């Protein structure tokens, strides 16, 4: 059950605080947000696959 709840909560929090995350990343790293979105998406997929494997 936790396999499905943890990734869902993480995705929900990312969506909920997207503007704050966007501003903080741009201020700290001066990175365009598109690269960050792709990285986070791949990280979330990786976590989901790892949790489904175990």
Classified as helix, coil or strand, 30 is coil
Please compute, for residue 38, the number of CA atoms within 13 A of its CA located in the half-sphere on the CB side: 4
- pLDDT tens digit sequence for 9-48: 998 998 898 888 888 888 888 876 767 678 889 999 999 9
Name which residue leads in pLDDT, 1 or 32: 1
Q: Check pLDDT > 80 for residue 54.
A: no
Q: How far apart are CA 15 and CA 37, in angstroms?
A: 11
Locate 50 and state its tokens.
């790892």
Predicted pLDDT of residue 34: 67
Rounded CA-CA distance 23/17 in Å is 10
So what's the pLDDT on residue 32? 67
Tokens of 37: 């979105």
Per-residue confidence (pLDDT) for residue 22, from 0 to 100: 81
pTM over 0.75: no
Cα distance between residue 14 and residue 53, in whole Å: 24
């Amino acid at each position: 059950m936790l396999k499905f709840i943890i990734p869902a909560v993480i995705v929900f929090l990312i969506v909920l605080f997207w503007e704050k995350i966007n501003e903080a990343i741009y201020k700290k790293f001066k990175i365009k947000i598109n690269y960050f979105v792709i990285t986070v998406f791949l990280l979330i997929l990786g976590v989901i696959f790892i949790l489904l494997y175990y």
